Amino acid sequence: MAESHQILILPGDGIGREVVPAAVAVMEAAAKRVGLSLSFVEGLLGGCAIDATGQPLPEETLRLAKASRAVLLGAVGGPAWDSLPTSSRPERGLLGLRAGLGLFANLRPALLFPALADASSLKPELVAGLDLLIVRELTGGIYFGEPRGIEVVNNERRGFNTDVYSEHEIDRIARVAFELARKRQRRLCSVDKANVLEVTQLWREVVTSVGKEYPDVELSHLYVDNAGMQLVRAPKQFDVMVTGNLFGDILSDVAAMLTGSLGMLPSASLAASGQGLYEPVHGSAPDIAGQDKANPLATILSVSMLFRYSLDAPEAADLIERAVDQVLAEGYRTADIVGSGDPAAVREVGTRAMADQVLRLVETLETRS
Ligand code: IPM
Ligand code: MG
């Protein structure tokens, strides 16, 4: 009997509770197809964890995460917890998990599926064939820098945060990005604000020096304001982009919109150990939660990344990606993407029916050797 990999399932809040079970069914089917043995444990994170334990990241969840090969997460947050102080909000749970597992490398692909080319807010010719990967540093920078807080100075409040990166943090994220670029179009664009911020001057220096070890990858640098502009002007010029935590947060949402559908985008967050956390880029969407309306494809594609990056099972990843591609080509659409494609061929479905279509293909498509 082959070893079994433990996967921690964290549905979280809102539509996470619908899209995660749908994606787990696909994960089980794909694992079976390629002869991988998986075991599942479930935990609490975010608002549901606050309700049950008072903590957004219960100790038990972190313990389970550390003992698992990979974590599949839905989404966290919702209006019920919006008035809590920053330090105890659902989002804290996610940040705590990133820090606790050392998930420093966040991979956010923005891939335009041919069947959805008209869903973008940009002209189809600007985005047709778009395949861009944002590599965001996830455990450093201004998100975690100290000192931080709100203090009273001269009778008024003053808020402050610290943007800080050490050389080793820049070095290791740069290496991840160069390695990924090597497997793609061999072009890497590093994004900073080196004309103003010292921390990103260091960023540029370190990325440049790591780049000397990757002469086969073409390295360029852009200031973040220009990068934002280029992303909406001519996004296909990019292959891989690497940047810090805050800029990566912003640019990855911009890139997501280029594809026209947040409901389609997966992400992976990787630790040096190969452990990973996989989650859709979209949030908990409380407005449609519990109505079988959410698009499960971002979570299903996150499962594909899980197979690729944490289980070293590219055949399973391919199977899922081809299944999604085909389901879209067959015209199946959840409400968020119903406006794209040939109207005569479009078949609107809910969360479960969409996942069932993917499942059907994952169970029957030929595997490629
Ligand atoms: C993201 C989100 C998170 C972030 C929030 C929910 C803390 O926007 O994953 O991009 O800012 O990192
Ligand atoms: Mg974000």
pLDDT band, residue 367 (cuts 50/70/90): confident
Q: Is 290 found in the same domain as 337? A: yes
Q: Dihedral sign, CA of 252, 282, 311, 321?
A: negative
What are 279's strand-pairing partners? 267
Evaluate: CB of 249 within 6 angstroms of ligand 1: yes
Q: Is 88 found in the same domain as 189? A: no
Pair 349, 297: CB distance under 8 Å? no
**Predicted confidence (pLDDT) per residue in 84-110, tens digit:** 998 899 999 999 999 999 999 999 999
* Distance set, CA 195 to CA 165, 188, 204, 292, 362 (Å): 16, 20, 11, 48, 49
What are 40's strand-pairing partners? 7
> 124 in a domain, yes or no?
no
Rounded-to-integer distance, Cα 179 and Cα 296, Å:
29
Instruction: For residue 51, give both structure tokens.
Output: 């309700």
Query: Probe ligand 1: pick from 76, 81, 92, 94, max atoms within 8 Å of CB?
Result: 94
Residue of the nearest CA to atom 10 in ligand 1?
Answer: 249
> 46 in a domain, yes or no?
yes
Q: Decide if pLDDT at 1 tops 70.
A: no
Give distance in angstroms: CA of 250 to centre of ligand 2. 6
Q: Decide if pLDDT at 199 tops 60.
A: yes
| pLDDT for 361 | 98
> 291 in a domain, yes or no?
yes
**Predicted confidence (pLDDT) per residue in 222-256, tens digit:** 999 999 999 999 999 999 999 999 999 999 989 98
**Predicted confidence (pLDDT) per residue in 168-184, tens digit:** 999 999 999 999 999 99
CB atoms within 5 A of ion ligand 2 belong to 249
Query: Probe ligand 1: pick from 95, 139, 265, max atoms within 8 Å of CB?
Result: 95
Q: How many domains does the chain have?
A: 2
Q: Is 106 found in the same domain as 72? A: yes
Q: Decide if pLDDT at 142 tops 70.
A: yes
Q: Is 157 found in the same domain as 229? A: yes
Q: Is 276 found in the same domain as 311? A: yes
> 264 in a domain, yes or no?
yes
Which residue bears the tokens 């899980």?
Answer: 306
pLDDT band, residue 164 (cuts 50/70/90): very high
**Predicted confidence (pLDDT) per residue in 291-349, tens digit:** 999 999 999 999 999 999 999 999 999 999 999 999 999 999 999 998 887 888 899 99
118, 171, 253, 356: the active-site residue: 253
| pLDDT for 73 | 98
CATH of the domain at 104: 3.40.718.10
Tell me which of 210, 226, 258 is where a domain ends.
Answer: 258
Give distance in angstroms: CA of 363 to centre of ligand 1. 34
**Predicted confidence (pLDDT) per residue in 258-303, tens digit:** 987 788 999 999 999 889 999 999 899 999 999 999 999 999 999 9
Ligand with an atom nearest the CA of residue 94: 1
Query: Probe ligand 1: pick from 13, 88, 91, 277, max atoms within 8 Å of CB?
Result: 91
Rounded-to-integer distance, Cα 19 and Cα 116, Å:
20
Q: Is 170 found in the same domain as 280? A: no
Pair 261, 111: CB distance under 8 Å? no
Q: Is 154 found in the same domain as 237? A: yes
**Predicted confidence (pLDDT) per residue in 52-89, tens digit:** 999 999 999 999 999 999 999 999 999 999 999 988 99
> 126 in a domain, yes or no?
no
Q: Decide if pLDDT at 24 tops 60.
A: yes
What are 280's strand-pairing partners? 266
What are 242's strand-pairing partners? 135, 190
Q: Is 88 found in the same domain as 41? A: yes
225 is catalytic: yes
What percent of the chain lies above the pLDDT cut of 90? Answer: 87
Evaluate: CB of 94 within 6 angstroms of ligand 1: yes
| pLDDT for 216 | 98
Rounded-to-integer distance, Cα 222 and Cα 173, Å:
17
253 is catalytic: yes
143, 214, 309, 332: the active-site residue: 143
Atom of ligand 1 nearest to the CA of 283: 6
- Give the CA angle between residues 223, 240, 161 to the nearest 5°: 45
pLDDT band, residue 2 (cuts 50/70/90): low
249 is catalytic: yes
> 120 in a domain, yes or no?
no
Atom of ligand 1 nearest to the CA of 279: 9
Higher pLDDT, 11 or 341: 11
- CB atoms inside a 10 Å sphere around CB 348: 13
Q: Is 234 found in the same domain as 250? A: yes
Q: Decide if pLDDT at 188 tops 90.
A: yes
Tell me which of 230, 258, 286 is where a domain ends.
Answer: 258
Tell me which of 232, 258, 284 is where a domain ends.
Answer: 258
HSE-CB at 152 with a 13 A cutoff on CA atoms is 2
Ligand with an atom nearest the CA of residue 77: 1
Domain limits at 215? Answer: 131-258
Evaluate: CB of 97 within 6 angstroms of ligand 1: no
Residue of the nearest CA to atom 12 in ligand 1?
Answer: 249
Q: Is 271 found in the same domain as 244? A: no
- CB atoms inside a 10 Å sphere around CB 345: 12
Using alpha carbons, select from 168, 143, 157, 29 the residue that is nearest to residue 86. 143
249, 278, 332, 336: the active-site residue: 249
Grouping H, G, I as helix, E, B as strand and the rest as coil, residue 271 is coil
Instruction: For residue 260, give both structure tokens.
Output: 């026209």
Evaluate: CB of 255 within 6 angstroms of ligand 1: no
What percent of the chain lies above the pLDDT cut of 70? Answer: 99
**Which regions of 154-233 does DSSP assign to beta strands (E)?**
156-160, 187-192, 218-223
Q: Is 216 found in the same domain as 319? A: no
Q: Is 150 found in the same domain as 76? A: no
> 148 in a domain, yes or no?
yes
Evaluate: CB of 279 within 6 angstroms of ligand 1: no
**Which regions of 2-50 does DSSP assign to beta strands (E)?**
4-12, 37-42
**Stated pTM of the model:** 0.93
Atom of ligand 1 nearest to the CA of 98: 12
Pair 304, 321: CB distance under 8 Å? yes
Pair 176, 217: CB distance under 8 Å? no
| pLDDT for 369 | 59
Atom of ligand 1 nearest to the CA of 76: 6
> 119 in a domain, yes or no?
no
Evaluate: CB of 91 within 6 angstroms of ligand 1: yes
